[in-house]
Structure formats: structure tokens, C-alpha cells
């Protein structure tokens, strides 16, 4: 019996060790893959001008302070004073304007901006099934995403609008007592429109109804 118990314990120990080794190997594989994927990005980042890198970081991290106020302390005096004004939105849009200014001072900026015309050119077929490849507006936009100036501009653009919508949601929720605001704000910050849809669903399910369509919830 003792021998059998010892055998089972040894087997269990061996199985646990094998599972641990497998988990460690999986983590190592993922880490190696992540490092491999990050190498090209790091190489490309070295070619990007410092002013563009600084602009991207400014556009990324500045709005997060306002999101944290609305998510973590929606009813606090500080949040009401800060988010109750247009200052956060003006800061975000100001950063976007700054990013545009930095981008247009870079070499070849006008040539890159000219590519934007292809995105909205109705004469270009939106797709081509002949060779199985996507053409037209999508390709035009995709080619622009290879330019760090354009990526930074679009990123600042998206984050400014997300903050505008998030602030409106916060104003409406605090005015009408809509619950569970935090998750909706978090989703809006991460993915934009799905967060707004979630907020509308919460409004309906909580009995508060949809926000007024006259924009009354977004005053400043």
C-alpha cells in the first residue's frame, strides 16, 4: 500500500512538474514571439523623428487623466470642476492641431497628404475580384498608415473624439443618475462606439430611458 501510495505521489509530482514545464515553455514561446514581433516596430521607431514620437505620446497619455477622473471619481468635486468645463476637450483637440502642425512640417508631408484623395475618390473601384485583391479606397488608406505622421494624426483624432463622447456620457449619467457608468466609459476609451452603445443599453435597462436627443446632456 505504501509503495502504491508512493508511486501515485511520484506520478502526481511528475505530472505537476511536466505541467509546470509546459507552462513555462509556453510562456517562453510567447515571450520569444512577442520579442520577435516587436523587433521590426523598434527598428521602424528608430527612423521616426523625435517630434513625431513625442506628439504620439502626448496624444496618447494626456487624455487618460480625464478618463481616470470620470471612471474612478465621477461624483467628486474635482471631476465636476474639470470635466464640467470644455477644457479637457479643448486640450485634446489642441493636441490634435499640434500633431497636424508637426506632421505637415516633416519632409514629404504634402505628398503623403495627397494620397488622402484616393480614399474618397468615387472613380476608383472599391474592389476588384479579378486578381482576388482589395483595391481602391482601402488600399489608399492602408498606404497612408505606413506613414508615422499620418498614424499619429489619426490616433490623436480618434482619442479626441472618444474623449468628447465620454465626457458627454459622463454629463448625462451624472445629470440623470444612470448607473454603471464606469464600464461604459472604459469601453468607450478602448473601442469608441461600442462603449456608447453599451451606455444606451444601460440607460434603457435601468429605466432611465435614452438620453434626450436635443443634446441636453452635453452642456458645458
Compute φ and ψ for 109, nearest 5 degrees.
-65, -40
* Domain limits, the chain: 1-47, 48-111+147-218
Question: Which residues contact residue 110 at a Cβ distance below 8 angstroms, ignoring those fewer than 6 apart?
Answer: 104
Q: Say what the pLDDT of residue 37 is.
A: 34
Question: Which residues contact residue 187 at a Cβ distance below 8 angstroms, ignoring those fewer than 6 apart?
Answer: 194, 195, 198
Q: Say what the pLDDT of residue 165 is.
A: 97
Range with top average pLDDT, 8-12, 15-19, 76-80: 76-80
Nearest CA among 182, 160, 169, 162 for reference residue 218: 169
Residue with cell string 465636476: 80
Contact between residue 173 and residue 74 where contact means Cβ atoms under 8 Å apart: yes
In 84-158, beta strands by DSSP E: none
The mean pLDDT value for 126-141 works out to: 61
Q: Percent of the chain beyond pLDDT 90? A: 45
The mean pLDDT value for 4-9 works out to: 48
Handedness of CA 9, 10, 15, 20 (dihedral sign): positive
Q: Which three cell numbers stand for residue 55?
A: 506628439
Cα separation of 130 and 139, whole Å?
16
Question: Which residues contact residue 113 at a Cβ distance below 8 angstroms, ignoring those fewer than 6 apart?
Answer: 104
Q: Which three cell numbers stand for residue 5?
A: 501510495
Cα separation of 195 and 168, whole Å?
12
The mean pLDDT value for 138-142 works out to: 75
Q: Is 82 exposed, middle or buried (0-12, 13-18, 19+ CB in 10 A)?
A: middle
Question: Which residues contact residue 76 at a Cβ distance below 8 angstroms, ignoring those fewer than 6 apart?
Answer: 69
Q: Which three cell numbers stand for residue 172?
A: 448625462
pLDDT(5) > 70: no
Q: Say what the pLDDT of residue 26 is.
A: 43
Amino acid at each position: 500500500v505504501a509503495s502504491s501510495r508512493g508511486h501515485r505521489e511520484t506520478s502526481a509530482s511528475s505530472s505537476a512538474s511536466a505541467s509546470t514545464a509546459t507552462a513555462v515553455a509556453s510562456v517562453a514561446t510567447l515571450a520569444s514571439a512577442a520579442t520577435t514581433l516587436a523587433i521590426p516596430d523598434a527598428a521602424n521607431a528608430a527612423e521616426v523623428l523625435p517630434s513625431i514620437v513625442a506628439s504620439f505620446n502626448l496624444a496618447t497619455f494626456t487624455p487618460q487623466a480625464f478618463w481616470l477622473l470620470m471612471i474612478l471619481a465621477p461624483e467628486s468635486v474635482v471631476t465636476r470642476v474639470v470635466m464640467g468645463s470644455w477644457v479637457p476637450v479643448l486640450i485634446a483637440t489642441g493636441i490634435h492641431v499640434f500633431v497636424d502642425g508637426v506632421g505637415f512640417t516633416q519632409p514629404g508631408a504634402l505628398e503623403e497628404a495627397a494620397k488622402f484623395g484616393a480614399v474618397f475618390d468615387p472613380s476608383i473601384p472599391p474592389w476588384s475580384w479579378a486578381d482576388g485583391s482589395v483595391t481602391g479606397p482601402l488600399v489608399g488608406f492602408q498606404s497612408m498608415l505606413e506613414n508615422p505622421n499620418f498614424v499619429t494624426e489619426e490616433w490623436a483624432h480618434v482619442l479626441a473624439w472618444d474623449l468628447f463622447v465620454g465626457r458627454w456620457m459622463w454629463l448625462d449619467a451624472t445629470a440623470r443618475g444612470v448607473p454603471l457608468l464606469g464600464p461604459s466609459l472604459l469601453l468607450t476609451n478602448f473601442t469608441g462606439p461600442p462603449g456608447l452603445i453599451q451606455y444606451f443599453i444601460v440607460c434603457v435597462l435601468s429605466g432611465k430611458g435614452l438620453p434626450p436627443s436635443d443634446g441636453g446632456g452635453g452642456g458645458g
